[in-house]
């Protein structure tokens, strides 16, 4: 049963990579960049750009991040794996930011 679950998860990863590749291709074409020009800007080969657009899982994450930077989309990924703030931490942060009143005791 665990093997079937693993295969389904791998298929989902491949679907996501394929979707991202299609979006990358559309963004490149919208910029009117050929594969050659885009590859030069990324500092990779045309084959790497082709692999990215196909959704190949072997492309280095650095190439993807460079592509996002070139397309002015790098901020879209900066929150991935960001530490989650607990409810208690949020409450403490709110209380810390509140202005406190001065004591009413005479000086």
**Rounded CA separation 103/107 (Å):** 9
Longest dimension (CA), the chain: 77
Query: Per residue in 14-67, pLDDT tens?
Result: 999 999 999 999 999 999 999 999 999 999 999 999 999 999 999 999 999 999
Taking the CA of residue 52 as centre, how many other CA atoms within 13 Å lie in the half-sphere pointing to its CB? 26
How many C-beta atoms surround the C-beta of residue 94 within 10 A?
9
Residue where the block lists tokens 């394929």: 18
**Residues 16, 42: Cα–Cα separation, whole Å:** 21
Alpha helical stretches, state H, 1-107: 2-30, 35-42, 46-54, 61-70, 87-97
Identify the pLDDT of residue 26. Answer: 98
Q: Report pTM.
A: 0.69
Residue 107 has pLDDT above 90, yes or no: no
Q: Closest by alpha carbon to 52, among 68, 43, 63?
A: 63
């Amino acid at each position: 049963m665990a093997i079937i679950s693993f295969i389904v998860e791998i298929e989902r990863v491949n679907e996501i990579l394929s979707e991202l590749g299609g979006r990358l291709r559309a963004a490149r074409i919208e910029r009117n960049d050929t594969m050659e020009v885009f590859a030069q800007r990324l500092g990779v080969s045309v084959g790497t750009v082709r692999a990215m657009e196909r959704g190949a899982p072997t492309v280095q994450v650095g190439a993807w991040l460079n592509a996002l930077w070139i397309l002015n989309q790098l901020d879209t990924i900066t929150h991935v794996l960001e530490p989650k703030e607990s409810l208690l931490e949020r409450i403490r942060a709110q209380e810390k930011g509140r202005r406190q009143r001065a004591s009413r005791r005479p000086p």
